[in-house]
Structure 1
């Protein structure tokens, strides 16, 4: 039998950021990843403290940005790579009213650190009313982040590439197959619906499509352009454009209407020819109150869930991984707004 402090089930941001917390505190663990491309792994990797539809911010935005920077620096110490891409978001204004609203909101104490008051005009794309720069925004190098961390954990014998079999889990004696553990944490995204222990948690799928395109005229490497969706360079003459939001069409194949929506959106501000090289989708686990769902199983006290990260998977996954760790190891209560128990009231 192999003995570890933790089993982690999942292969997205929640799983990897929680694994990092365990590494920081010298806790032994095994991650079970079935090798599929999770919603996290096909995500845009946008790090953004502003809701760009209404020019508002969200709960603990500054704390989450600061904690992410610290965490990525810690991860760099063992992978040797920096995954933070300094490419600020430039939001294209639709009209003068949006310009005025941006300036008004930039005087708000919560938003002054994020909304740059100097408007800019970007070359190449159509932006007749200019753009607003989101300070402290950036991108994560998603592909290398996952490849390197999975590779590192595999070299540490902390990664098992197989589907987790719930039937072989014995919570009463804290064992799974030939492994004994102290705690097990499920970070499965929408896969949680197959989990007999947490299938009832209130997460809903939000399907997001994105396309990879070849542009006849490229955009600068150090910007992320946003109008309806995000556009930024991936390298090798490819660009990311996405993603959509769909709570209705939840089938497991490409939705042509979503691709058409993206083509229309890109054509609105990119006036040159482009060619689609690929289309992908993922299912974001979202919660009606836009907060993660974190907590302990009501009956099995060695069993936990970390889910519902939504469209802010990087920030939520990073910041609240510490909350879960402190809850388990230091008995620090979870904030009511993220606790699984909030739905029991």
Structure 2
């Protein structure tokens, strides 16, 4: 029987960033991947410290940005690549009132480092009232990130490409099939609803669609443009545009209404023809209070959950993987804001 310190179940941002913490600290582990693309793996990869609808920020935004950039440099040491794309977000203003609100908010202490006071005009799109640049924003090369880390893990025989079988877990003996583990962490996103150990955690699916389009007139700059959704360049002359938010139509196929919403949204500011080449969707695990859910099982002290990353999967997954690691290894207390016990009566 093979002995490992950890079993990670789930291959999205939560599982992969937790794997990074284990690599850093020389812990033995395996990670289970079903082989189908998770919501993380089809995500936009936007790294954004600002809520661009209201021009506000969120809990620990600066700490999360800083920690992510450091972590990506650490990951580069063993994958050979840095997957950070330095392409800041430019938010298209709808009118002069939004410009004034942006400038007013930029004076706030928690936003002064994020909202650039100098407006820009972007060629090739409709932005009559210019755009505001979000400082410290960027993108993750999502495909490269997952491919690079999975390749690294596979070479070390740490990637198990099969569906995890809950019925094979013997928590009392710390055994799963032929694996003897110290701790097991479930990082499954919406897959947690099938997990008999943590199916009660209050995560709700938020379905997001995005399209990959061919623009008839390419944009001159490698930036991320935001109006209703995000537009940015990909490889092979394609562009990403998305994503939508839908808590109602949760079936597992493409929604025509979402495609129409994206088509209309892009046409609002891109004045030329474009062709949809690909459509993707995923289910984000969201929590009512917009904070992740981290904690230990109420009966099995060797079982943990890491879920509810929502639309900020990269930042939440990276930052709170360290919080979870310190909780498991060093008995550091979990912040009340993310502890799963906040939902237990």
Question: Counterparts of 1:31 and 1:121 in 2: how far apart (Å)?
Answer: 45
Question: Counterparts of 1:235 and 1:26 in 2: how far apart (Å)?
Answer: 35
1:43 aligns to 2:43 (yes or no): yes
Question: Counterparts of 2:291 and 2:220 in 1: how far apart (Å)?
Answer: 34
User: How far did residue 220 of structure 1 move?
Assistant: 3.4
- Partner residue, 1:206: 206
Any idea what the Cα deviations from partners look like across 1:255-283, whole Å, max 9, x if unmatched? 00000000000000000000000000000
Question: Counterparts of 1:257 and 1:11 in 2: how far apart (Å)?
Answer: 29
Secondary structure of 1:202's aligned partner: coil
Question: Counterparts of 2:107 and 2:220 in 1: how far apart (Å)?
Answer: 29
Question: Counterparts of 1:35 and 1:221 in 2: how far apart (Å)?
Answer: 35
Alignment of 1:113-192 (within 5 A): 113-192=113-192
Alignment of 1:225-240 (within 5 A): 225-240=225-240
1:305 aligns to 2:305 (yes or no): yes
Alignment of 1:1-345 (within 5 A): 1-345=1-345
TM-score by length of 1: 1.00
User: How far did residue 344 of structure 1 move?
Assistant: 1.4
Question: Counterparts of 2:69 and 2:11 in 1: how far apart (Å)?
Answer: 21
Question: Counterparts of 1:113 and 1:341 in 2: how far apart (Å)?
Answer: 34
User: How far did residue 222 of structure 1 move?
Assistant: 2.3
Secondary structure of 2:59's aligned partner: coil
Question: Counterparts of 1:221 and 1:243 in 2: how far apart (Å)?
Answer: 21
User: How far did residue 5 of structure 1 move?
Assistant: 0.1
Any idea what the Cα deviations from partners look like across 1:179-211, whole Å, max 9, x if unmatched? 000000000000000000000100000000000
1:31–1:158 Cα contact (<8 Å) kept = yes
Any idea what the Cα deviations from partners look like across 1:73-96, whole Å, max 9, x if unmatched? 000000000100000000000000
Please say which of residues 174-183 and 217-226 is displaced more in the overlay: 217-226
2:208–2:244 Cα contact (<8 Å) kept = yes
1:221–1:232 Cα contact (<8 Å) kept = no
Question: Counterparts of 1:264 and 1:192 in 2: how far apart (Å)?
Answer: 34
Any idea what the Cα deviations from partners look like across 1:237-268, whole Å, max 9, x if unmatched? 10000000000000000000000000000000
1:93–1:132 Cα contact (<8 Å) kept = yes
Question: Counterparts of 1:319 and 1:222 in 2: how far apart (Å)?
Answer: 27
Question: Counterparts of 1:129 and 1:141 in 2: how far apart (Å)?
Answer: 30
Secondary structure of 1:173's aligned partner: coil
**How many residues in Structure 1 have an aligned counterpart in Structure 2?**
345
- Tell me which stretches of 4 or more aligned residues in structure 1 moved more than 2 Å: none
1:221–1:233 Cα contact (<8 Å) kept = no
Question: Counterparts of 1:218 and 1:203 in 2: how far apart (Å)?
Answer: 39
User: How far did residue 235 of structure 1 move?
Assistant: 1.5
Question: Counterparts of 1:220 and 1:145 in 2: how far apart (Å)?
Answer: 25
User: How far did residue 213 of structure 1 move?
Assistant: 0.1
For structure 2, list consecutive stretches of 5 or more residues without a partner in the other structure: none
User: How far did residue 221 of structure 1 move?
Assistant: 4.4
2:124–2:220 Cα contact (<8 Å) kept = no
Any idea what the Cα deviations from partners look like across 1:123-173, whole Å, max 9, x if unmatched? 000000000000000000000000110110000110100000000111010
Question: Counterparts of 1:158 and 1:121 in 2: how far apart (Å)?
Answer: 48
Secondary structure of 1:116's aligned partner: strand
Question: Counterparts of 2:11 and 2:79 in 1: how far apart (Å)?
Answer: 18
Question: Counterparts of 2:71 and 2:2 in 1: how far apart (Å)?
Answer: 29
